[in-house]
């Protein structure tokens, strides 16, 4: 995390639990009594599973508790209600690394979003198994590291990646059309902390060359899917999807072009939602508070 210059900071609390009776009241009361003004309060009760999810965001101006005290109070509430919870502060910005290969479109989109101030986090590092995108990162003033991946010894590259991520204090890894498969260990260390873009409307067209598959099947709509990475390829919780119409007139090259536009839009959108602490994971699905 990076400490940002002081400004009207907010606290965001994400909560999941199995029994919600009194919870909204208890949490609202807690914020109110300590002088906090609630800016957003969203909740979702999943009837099928009996699970309950909540996102609470409040203004810290004039709040009576220090951040350590808030965390302490949440420990108590968490135990009392058996909560899963995550507490973050808007001025402690997550640090993001983008993994890319040769295709520049998703990387440009993320870097431009950062430059326009649209991300609630800091894109601090670009890692690539090729050197092709060095100038792109450089243009936006972001560190670029070329870490070639040796097919015979992927462990070496991964060790270098881990060292770099630790050194830079990275909280979130974004795979922007990164054409390498991460090891199960690398993934397991980052639950809901790696976002990938798949170039199809999952679960249609898993695996390689989805636009070729789409052409062969003759679909009239193509899509892109941003999801958290899990051990099962293309199977992680979906964060965002979008689609566009295609026709028989679109050859594979045109599908690639249309799809590329979807990919960057969907990936940047998913990253933005994640950084705004709007995404909760429940089993293999996400709750995205709009």
On the 0-12 / 13-18 / 19+ scale of CB atoms within 10 A, 33 is exposed
Q: Where are the beta strands (DSSP E) in 185-231?
A: 194-198, 221-228
Closest alpha carbon to 223 in 249, 202, 250, 251? 202
- Verify binding: residue 199, a second copy, rule CB under 8 A: no
- Verify binding: residue 234, a second copy, rule CB under 8 A: no
Q: Which of residues 113-172 bind a second copy (CB under 8 A)?
A: 115-116, 118, 135, 139
Alpha carbon separation from 60 to 10, 54, 89, 124, 189 (Å, rounded): 5, 19, 9, 27, 32
- 234: annotated active-site residue: yes
Q: Which of 94, 121, 223, 259 binds a second copy (CB under 8 A)?
A: 223
Closest alpha carbon to 78 in 133, 15, 136? 15
- Verify binding: residue 276, a second copy, rule CB under 8 A: no
Q: Which of 31, 123, 142, 157 binds a second copy (CB under 8 A)?
A: 31
Given 59, 234, 242, 251, the catalytic residue: 234
User: Could you tell me the smallest distance in angstroms from the CB atom of residue 259 to a second copy?
Assistant: 12
Whose Cβ is closer to a second copy: residue 173's or residue 226's?
A: 226
User: Could you tell me the smallest distance in angstroms from the CB atom of residue 39 to a second copy?
Assistant: 6
- Verify binding: residue 90, a second copy, rule CB under 8 A: no
Map residue 63 onto helix, strand or coil: coil
**Distance (Å, whole) CA 83 – CA 81:** 5
Give 229-266 as a 3 state SS string. Answer: CCCCCCCCCEEEEEEEECCCCCCHHHHHHHHHHHHHHH
Stretch that binds a second copy, among 4-12, 70-78, 143-151, 200-208 (CB under 8 A): 200-208
User: Could you tell me the smallest distance in angstroms from the CB atom of residue 142 to a second copy?
Assistant: 13
Angle between helices 252-275 and 105-115 (to 10 degrees): 30
User: Is beta strand 238-245 parallel, antiparallel or unpaired with respect to 51-59?
Assistant: unpaired
User: Could you tell me the smallest distance in angstroms from the CB atom of residue 218 to a second copy?
Assistant: 3
Residues forming the site for a second copy (CB under 8 A): 20-22, 24-26, 28-29, 31-33, 37-48, 104-105, 108, 112, 115-116, 118, 135, 139, 201-205, 216-221, 223, 237-243, 247-249, 251, 257, 260-261, 265, 284-288, 290
Query: Which residues belong to the active site?
Result: 234
């Amino acid at each position: 995390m990076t400490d940002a210059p002081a400004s009207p900071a907010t606290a965001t609390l994400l909560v999941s639990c199995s029994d919600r009776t009194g919870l909204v009241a208890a949490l609202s009361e807690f914020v109110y009594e300590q002088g906090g003004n609630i800016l957003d309060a969203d909740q979702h009760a999943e009837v099928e599973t009996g699970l309950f999810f909540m996102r609470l965001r409040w203004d810290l101006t004039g709040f009576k508790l220090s951040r350590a005290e808030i965390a302490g109070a949440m420990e108590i509430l968490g135990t009392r209600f058996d909560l899963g919870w995550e507490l973050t502060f808007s001025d402690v910005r997550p640090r993001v690394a983008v993994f890319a290969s040769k295709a520049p479109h998703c990387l440009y989109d993320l870097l431009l979003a950062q430059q326009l101030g649209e991300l609630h986090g800091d894109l601090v590092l670009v890692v690539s198994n090729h050197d092709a995108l060095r100038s792109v990162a450089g243009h936006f003033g972001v560190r670029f590291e070329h870490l070639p991946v040796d097919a015979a010894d992927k462990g070496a590259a991964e060790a270098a990646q881990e060292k770099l991520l630790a050194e830079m204090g990275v909280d979130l890894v974004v795979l922007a059309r990164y054409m390498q498969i991460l090891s199960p260990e690398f993934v397991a260390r980052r639950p809901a902390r790696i976002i990938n873009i798949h170039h199809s409307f999952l679960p249609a067209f898993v695996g390689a060359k989805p636009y070729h598959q789409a052409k062969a099947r003759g679909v009239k709509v193509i899509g892109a899917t941003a999801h958290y990475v899990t051990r099962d390829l293309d199977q992680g919780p979906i964060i965002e999807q979008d689609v566009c119409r295609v026709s028989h007139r679109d050859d594979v090259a045109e599908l690639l072009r249309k799809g590329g536009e979807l990919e960057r839009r969907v990936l940047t959108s998913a990253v933005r939602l994640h950084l705004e602490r709007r995404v909760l994971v429940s089993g293999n699905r996400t709750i995205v508070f709009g």
